[in-house]
Amino acid sequence: MKPWMCLGLAAALGASLGACGKIEPNVGPAVRSGSADFSVYVAMGTSLGAGYSNGGLVESHQRHSYPYLFAQQVGTPFTIPSISDSGLGPLLVLRSYDPLLITRAAVPGVPTNFAQPTASSRTPTPRAPLRRPRMSATSATSSTSAASTVTPHFAGAELAEMVATRRDLHAHPELGFEEVRTSGLVAERLRQLGLEPRTGVGRTGVLARITGGKPGRTVLLRADMDALPILEENDVPYRSQSPGRMHACGHDCHTSILLGIAKQLVAEAKDQKGNVVLCFQPAEELGGPKGGAEAMLQDGVLEWARADAAFGLHVWQDLPLGTVGVTAGPWMAAVDEFTVTFKGKGAHAAMPQASRDPVVALAHAVTALQTLASRNADPLKELVVSVTQLKAGSAFNIIPETAWMNGTIRVFDRELWAAIPRHVERVVRGVAAALDCEAELLYERGNKPTFNDPAMCAFARAAAVSVVGEANVRHDVRTMGGEDFSTFLERIPGVFIAIGSRNEARGLTYDHHHPRFDVDEQCLRIGAEVLLETARRYLAS
């Protein structure tokens, strides 16, 4: 079946069934002449032929008060007798039905005017030229995989609300422990839902409990709220209004997603088994002992929550929209920082024999530290040692008294992570001694490895499959980046889920922490549905 035939079949669907009073067609605006896109709308309350229904999709939209179904070719054939018996052949499964997701399949060679295919006994009726639809805030073009996702709880008005919240937060970013406006917005939204939020937890964090109508376990759902000290370069209506501050890691998305989930959970609380604790965390970017997770722990979040499991998510630019990553075991690395100051004796650059040169010690140490990965670590256990800052000297002809360096170490394996500080100290002090210098070492622990409990992954993976399909769930997503949700997962079994947010067709490809970072906002509905379904499956188990 040629791709353009889907247009003709949509027209035929309106003509052949509409003539029998079974369907009232509304062929929505779609493409300009020469474009390769299309869209078709089918009105509510329709029948698709004898013995066939539309799979409950109309009923679903009646429940949410949406007037149309959005039809999209996804490539799986099925037949409707009243159509195929008229000589039109099989239709294609029309899967995406949310009218706000104006997701268009490629249809090369679509003519400006097309005649509906008909049986030989029917005279062709020309149709009007199609026009490209106007795109709203929540109707941005998405990938085909995203279009075929199943997100019944976060479509239409629910998605629009999440997008609006995300854009508001994006325009008003706040750094770690400065999330006063953000936490105020969160607390007010929770109060509007009838909840009683606890504020000021971990300085600017917010907690709330949703108690189910049936006894059961408790799950903690976490979202981070802080932004980064970056000057945004995006030219978008929701660009940061705070120069030098930007939501360049997606925490605005995480907060809006959890607020959307809260609304859904409150609506169904009386039928819910168990309880849900909503955790809006500050200062994730600071990490480790300095970060928001540790601050909330110090304020007793776990004692108050009494959670049996913890789930969170991160929009992920390494994954395309419509893809979800659920990786058992370690999938984000420990983050450590080291600072070394070599002390020697200064001298004139023309008389190095009078010096004890700390710059030479510094240079040797940079190289020697790489042997931690190449000679001290098991080659099957990933280890990254990066020296990122060097400082020494004040003039070209002076050997300085001191030389300074700073860097980071990333590792997954907990045993290796525990041993690394000792190895760093051995190398640094050995190099200093060999070159007649002294060394001062400051080694600081940051985030621990983020470890996904395999048993909890089963719930998240099943949830992801129900939303995006088995083919779009990845089990091998790992990164040397760090995450302070590890502080929770070290104490409570749980999962941290990666939600694909990249859309190359729209140029949304810049990595996290880049001044042009932005996501395809359709990832909000996917993330919300996956996290909600993960919690539901766990509580029901």
Task: Based on the fold, state whether residues 172 and 95 are members of the same structural domain.
Answer: no
Q: Please indicate, yes or no, if residue 169 is contained in any of the structural domains.
A: yes
3-state SS of 488-521?
HHCCCCEEEEEEEEEEHHHCECCCCCCCCCCCCC
- Say how far residue 71 (Cα) sits from the centre of its chain: 26
pLDDT of residue 114: 26
Q: Tell me: the pLDDT tens digits for 62-73?
A: 222 222 223 333
Task: Based on the fold, state whether residues 362 and 306 are members of the same structural domain.
Answer: no
Task: Based on the fold, state whether residues 397 and 437 are members of the same structural domain.
Answer: yes
Nearest-5° Cα angle at 237, 236 to 238: 90
Task: Based on the fold, state whether residues 116 and 51 are members of the same structural domain.
Answer: yes
Task: Based on the fold, state whether residues 398 and 273 are members of the same structural domain.
Answer: no
Domain boundary residue among 445, 470, 489?
445
Q: Please indicate, yes or no, if residue 167 is contained in any of the structural domains.
A: yes
Residue 364 main-chain phi, psi, to 5 deg: -65, -35
Instruction: Report how far residue 293's alpha carbon sits from residue 298's, in angstroms, rounded to the nearest whole number.
Output: 9
Question: The domain that contains 203 carries what CATH number?
Answer: 3.40.630.10
Q: Please indicate, yes or no, if residue 539 is contained in any of the structural domains.
A: no
Instruction: Report how far residue 509's alpha carbon sits from residue 501's, in angstroms, rounded to the nearest whole number.
Output: 9
Task: Based on the fold, state whether residues 277 and 183 are members of the same structural domain.
Answer: yes
3-state SS of 403-458?
EEEEEEEEECCHHHHHHHHHHHHHHHHHHHHHCCCEEEEEEEECCCCEEECHHHHH
pLDDT of residue 311: 98
Instruction: Report how far residue 438's alpha carbon sits from residue 457's, in angstroms, rounded to the nearest whole number.
Output: 48
Nearest to 482 by CA among 468, 467, 496, 470: 496
Task: Based on the fold, state whether residues 273 and 382 are members of the same structural domain.
Answer: no
Q: Please indicate, yes or no, if residue 432 is contained in any of the structural domains.
A: yes
Q: Please indicate, yes or no, if residue 507 is contained in any of the structural domains.
A: yes
Angle of helix 157-171 relative to helix 180-192, nearest 10 degrees, comes to: 160
The sign of the CA dihedral 144, 148, 149, 151 is positive
Task: Based on the fold, state whether residues 309 and 386 are members of the same structural domain.
Answer: no
Tell me whether residue 284 is one of the annotated catalytic residues: yes
User: Facing residues of 444 across strands?
Assistant: 337
Q: Count the domains in the chain.
A: 3
Task: Based on the fold, state whether residues 77 and 183 are members of the same structural domain.
Answer: no
Task: Based on the fold, state whether residues 360 and 270 are members of the same structural domain.
Answer: no
Domain limits for position 236: 157-317+499-529
Q: Please indicate, yes or no, if residue 458 is contained in any of the structural domains.
A: no
Question: The domain that contains 393 carries what CATH number?
Answer: 3.30.70.360
Query: Residues of 10-26 as b/e, b for ≥16 C-beta within 10 angstroms?
Result: bbbbbbbbeeeebbebe
Global confidence as pTM:
0.74
Domain boundary residue among 422, 445, 468?
445
Nearest-5° Cα angle at 221, 157 to 457: 105
Domain boundary residue among 119, 134, 149?
134
Task: Based on the fold, state whether residues 425 and 338 are members of the same structural domain.
Answer: yes
The single-letter code of the amino acid at 166 is R
Q: Which residue has the tokens 């400051």?
A: 442
pLDDT of residue 11: 39
Q: Distance of CA 462 to CAs 35, 311, 318, 526, Å?
A: 38, 14, 22, 14
Nearest to 258 by CA among 539, 534, 538, 540: 534
Positions of the chain with pLDDT under 50: 1-144
Of these residues, 158, 161, 174, 226, which one is catalytic?
226
pLDDT of residue 145: 55
pLDDT of residue 47: 32
Query: Residues of 363-376 as b/e, b for ≥16 C-beta within 10 angstroms?
Result: bbbbebbeebbeee
Of these residues, 98, 284, 294, 413, which one is catalytic?
284
Tell me whether residue 378 is one of the annotated catalytic residues: no
Q: Distance of CA 234 to CAs 98, 157, 239, 506, Å?
A: 28, 26, 6, 13
Task: Based on the fold, state whether residues 15 and 108 are members of the same structural domain.
Answer: yes
- Say how far residue 179 (Cα) sits from the centre of its chain: 20
pLDDT of residue 6: 40
pLDDT of residue 149: 83
